[in-house]
A = this chain, B = another copy of it.
């Protein structure tokens, strides 16, 4: 059997990089871990990472080449938000571009594609976390927690419709419908902040319902390059959905990552929040 070339995981913050690395290793692949200084989680030290700062893009490419890497996964959050002008002329700029663009310039799809292009011009192949670790991706249908009620399925359909319209305009990836009404739509604030907003609307009575009601829907944008900025949920999403008194969380199957799936499923059961995988434009059915 011919040995596969090692895969590089260029790791920003959060849990996802470690999950992707473990998954690739479990499949018998050799993994070169590149930990971005100031971003990557300390737990990655278990994988003997090469630590590189923003300015060390040249060293990044020489490292990858010396290890014989062909496939590269870019994964994890990037928190550092330096002033755009202060890093111009720094070759490291290009790696920051996706997040900088997202924070500064606007609709980022073209530039994300350009970032991938820069790697590809170096002879590397950018692959998505969902390709390396398909078990991290949401599956179709009812996944965990209680079975969705008819009302929840109808809220789900409504929120899918909203996310679909927003995604086409390159705006957001999430929406929350409660009792046949879309009450929150995700912009630059992110999913957690949107869930907190709905929790507040429930508390101050602007969104009323007896007991749990409503669904968070999270999808990829239709034009999204999943290799570069795939949306994800995790245990925190389920906790915040419970705090917002929602009945469930619905993610686009195959196009949204579910981190710590075991814990997510355990929390779904414990907190009574369902997890469901849908397709965009679907009329959800139980």
Asked whether, in the complex, the Cβ of A189 is within 8 Å of the Cβ of B201, the reply is yes
* A188 CB–B CB distance under 8 Å: yes
A103 on interface, CB distance cutoff 8 Å: yes
In the complex, whether A231 has a CB less than 8 A from a CB of chain B is no
Verify if A208 is at the interface (C-beta below 8 Å from B): yes
Q: Any chain B CB within 8 A of the CB of A121?
A: no
In the complex, identify which listed stretch (A10-18, A89-97, A164-172) lies at the interface while the others stay far away.
Answer: A164-172
Closest chain B CB from A164 CB (angstroms): 10
B-chain residues with CB within 8 Å of residue A182 when the two chains form the complex: 169-172, 187
Chain B hits for A165, CB < 8 A? 165-166, 168-169
Q: Is the CB of A107 closer than 8 A to any CB of chain B?
A: yes
Closest chain B residue to A180 by CB distance? B106
Q: This chain: how many copies in the complex?
A: 2
B-contact 0/1 string along A166-202, CB 8 Å cutoff: 1011111000100111111111111001000100010
Q: A78-100 vs B: 1/0 string, CB under 8 Å?
A: 00010010000000000000000
Within 8 A of B (CB), among A35-54: none
State which of B170, B180, B197, B209 has its C-beta within 8 Å of the C-beta of A107.
B180
B104 touches A208 (CB 8 A): yes
Asked if A30 is at the interface (CB within 8 A of a chain B CB), the reply is no
Contact in complex: A104, B169 (CB < 8 Å): no
Binary contact readout A121-160 vs B (1 if CB under 8 angstroms, 0 otherwise): 0000000000000000000000000000000000000000
C-alpha gap A9/B179 in the complex (Å): 32
Tell me the bound Cα distance from A184 to B190 in angstroms: 10
Q: Contact at A206–B181, with CB atoms within 8 Å?
A: no
A205 in the interface (beta carbon within 8 A): yes
Complex Cα distance, B182 from A187, in Å, reads 7
With both beta carbons as reference points, the residue of chain B lying nearest to A81 in the complex is identified as: B205
> Which of B162, B170, B171, B207 makes the CB contact (< 8 A) with A188?
B207
Closest to A100 in B: B208
B171 close to A103 (CB less than 8 A): no
Q: Could you pull out 23 A-B pairs where Cβ atoms are within 8 angstroms?
A: A81-B206, A84-B208, A104-B209, A105-B181, A106-B180, A106-B181, A107-B181, A161-B169, A165-B168, A165-B169, A169-B182, A170-B182, A172-B182, A181-B188, A182-B187, A183-B188, A185-B186, A185-B187, A188-B207, A189-B197, A189-B201, A189-B206, A190-B206
